Structure 1
Amino acid sequence: MKVNLAVDGGQSALRLRVLPTGRTGSGPGYTHGAAANERMLDAIREAAADAGLVEPVGVVALGLTGFPPEPGAAAAFAGRVLDLLAADEVRVTQDMVTAHAGALADGYGVVVAAGTGLVCLAVDRDGSWHKLDGHGYLFGDAGSAFAIGRAGLVAVQKARDGRGAVTKLADTALDPVTFYRSPTLVDDVARFAPSVLRCAAEGDVVAEGILSRAAADIAETIDAAVAKLAGDGPVPVACVGGLFAGAGDQLLDPVRQKLSTRAQLTEAAGSSLDGAERLATSAPGPYADLTVIQRKL
């Protein structure tokens, strides 16, 4: 019997689920660079092996942080996945789409996915959609774990230089300058976000300020997304991803306080991997325009 595969490819890790058995496997996360697609294919191969995949494959649905943006590149990548897994069909889209599909069962509303990066997707009742942020660590991802981690590491350097306020953040043994040489710089910086959250919870003023700015940035993105949807009624908003999972109400409460009344925070129905499963087992529906499909000839 053929199985379907759901894949969630983030910056920290790539996860694969075999359907309907539910077996899972993982591989390395997305890393920037000229060989990014090759590394992503290697990660899919590793995750499939980790899940013990031996069955023939029907449909593969992938939500990827590293969705190839160039015209035709996504289709070419989907073709390579088709060959790699000897699948009948490959459906590839951005991770923001699988996050939305997993979080909101009826497909209407706003989802903010925040982990290493941050992206927001608003889908209206007529199927029209709007993507906000997700512009990467240099030009966007406001409020993300990377943004929080970077602000925290900047505060570390300023405190050590005597150019900034004294902060518990500077107690870290890390030397941020060494990250410049790391091939996983973005992930390395994002991994400092939990230290910022911990110091904020302990009353460190500098860390509290960083967290407050991140909450304001996230609320700004949500309100901009809500404003793009028709009408003036309440809009369900789900906040998903590793950052929200780790921070919980410490981040959600200040976000909620800064939101407009139209934005109604709601608990996500499922994860990005659940969203990939939805795309692997049913028609793309409201996400059809955001999904590239390749089939075996």
Structure 2
Amino acid sequence: MTAHPASADPAARGPIRLAFDGGQSALRVRVIPDGRTGSGPGFTHSANSIQATVDAVRAAADQAGVTGPVEVAALGLTGFPKDLPTAEILAKSIAETLRATEVRLTQDMVTAHAGALPDRYGVVLAAGTGVVCLGIDRDGSWYKIDGHGYLFGDAGSAFAIGRAGLVAVQRARDGRGPATALADTDLDPIALYPSPTLVDDVARFAPVVLRRAAEGDPVAHDIVVRAAGELAETIGAAIGSLAGQGQVPVACVGGLFDGAGDQLAEPLRAKLPSRAELIVAEGNSLDGAQRLASGPPGPYDELIVTHHA
């Protein structure tokens, strides 16, 4: 993205608000109210993940040309800390680096839900490099499904599809598996092992799998159908957590669905429980972060760690 000159920053007119969407591939920021954007590195599992997240926030803000004081910053992060004390440390560190009066920190599943179903009952599945699902009941109770990371979860994610595709490539090249058009790539999967961005690198093979599935490659088709089944299972678990027997609005968002086409959507629809009512999301995770930055947290209040400078 193109950085904006400091002269374009609205700081001269008063404090601004910032909305952040932090995934495994990238961390994005939107400046409110003028809509300028920037990006920084995505989340990686590392011993210094707090400092890495703060650095990514700073990089994204710099790219967006943020130079003035920040009134509120709302962040939905894949790398949201597992324990409250660490989350509070991260929120304080972000407040300091942004010179923000208030920081609202939460998981990326919350901003995905706020963007897709603002102030509404239902289930949102966010599928990109990883997968996480959030169901909110009519009484405000909430249920998180998956979001367990690439080793122990993220079933049906771009990483899972990309990994299955690269396994199929190696099996075909070894003669241990069926021939597949997926093997028509210059990529050497073994060369990815030392990459510091391994998860993102593997996930970037998912569009190749989806494209080959659309072209009729049976191996790629089977991978996509299995992924759709995993996603449907996750949605079904979220729906099963909600009270009653009526229809539940379900929105699917995230980079995995961008350009995936019917080869993913059709098997997903076929495997969903009867209570699922697929609807079009009203917005994306960055839109959700903007809603959390622009007004009161509302039904997401207990899912947000707030720091006041």
- Any residues of structure 2 matched to 1:192-203 within 5 Å, and which? 192-203=205-216
The 1-side partners of 2:73 and 2:93 are apart by 12
Unaligned runs of 5+ in 1: none
Does 1:210 pair with 2:223? yes
| Offset from partner CA, 1:174-230 (integer Å, 9 cap, x none) | 111111101111001000001101111111110000000000001111111111111
RMSD: 0.9
Give, in angstroms, the shift of residue 142 of structure 1: 0.4
Q: Specify the SS of the correspondent of 1:72.
A: helix
Q: Which moved more, 1:145-154 or 1:283-292?
A: 283-292
Does 1:254 pair with 2:267? yes
The 2-side partners of 1:71 and 1:87 are apart by 20
Q: Which residue of 1 aligns with 2:100?
A: 87
Q: Which residue of 1 aligns with 2:173?
A: 160
| Offset from partner CA, 1:218-277 (integer Å, 9 cap, x none) | 111111111111111110000000001131333112101111110011100001000001
Q: Which residue of 2 aligns with 1:42?
A: 55
Give, in angstroms, the shift of residue 119 of structure 1: 0.4
Give, in angstroms, the shift of residue 68 of structure 1: 1.1
- Any residues of structure 2 matched to 1:6-155 within 5 Å, and which? 6-155=19-168
Q: Which moved more, 1:242-251 or 1:112-121?
A: 242-251
Q: Which amino acid aligns with 1:61?
A: A
Q: Specify the SS of the correspondent of 1:247.
A: coil
Q: Which residue of 1 aligns with 2:298?
A: 285
Q: Which residue of 2 aligns with 1:220?
A: 233
The 2-side partners of 1:106 and 1:249 are apart by 29
Give, in angstroms, the shift of residue 46 of structure 1: 1.1
The 1-side partners of 2:159 and 2:299 are apart by 30
The 1-side partners of 2:288 and 2:132 are apart by 15
The 2-side partners of 1:86 and 1:219 are apart by 42
The 2-side partners of 1:70 and 1:123 are apart by 22
Q: Specify the SS of the correspondent of 1:30.
A: coil
Give the share of equivalent positions with the same residue, in percent: 67
The 2-side partners of 1:281 and 1:245 are apart by 27
The 2-side partners of 1:182 and 1:102 are apart by 33
Q: Specify the SS of the correspondent of 1:183.
A: coil
Q: Which moved more, 1:72-81 or 1:252-261?
A: 252-261
**Conserved in 1, the CA contact under 8 Å of 2:213 and 2:263?**
no
Give, in angstroms, the shift of residue 54 of structure 1: 2.0
Q: Which moved more, 1:47-56 or 1:145-154?
A: 47-56
Does 1:181 pair with 2:202? no
Q: Which amino acid aligns with 1:123?
A: I
The 1-side partners of 2:117 and 2:271 are apart by 22
Give, in angstroms, the shift of residue 73 of structure 1: 0.4
| Offset from partner CA, 1:19-73 (integer Å, 9 cap, x none) | 1111111111112211222221111111111111122110110000111113310
Aligned length: 296
Does 1:268 pair with 2:281? yes
Give, in angstroms, the shift of residue 107 of structure 1: 2.6
| Offset from partner CA, 1:152-179 (integer Å, 9 cap, x none) | 0110111111100010111111111111
Unaligned runs of 5+ in 2: 1-13
Q: Specify the SS of the correspondent of 2:252.
A: strand
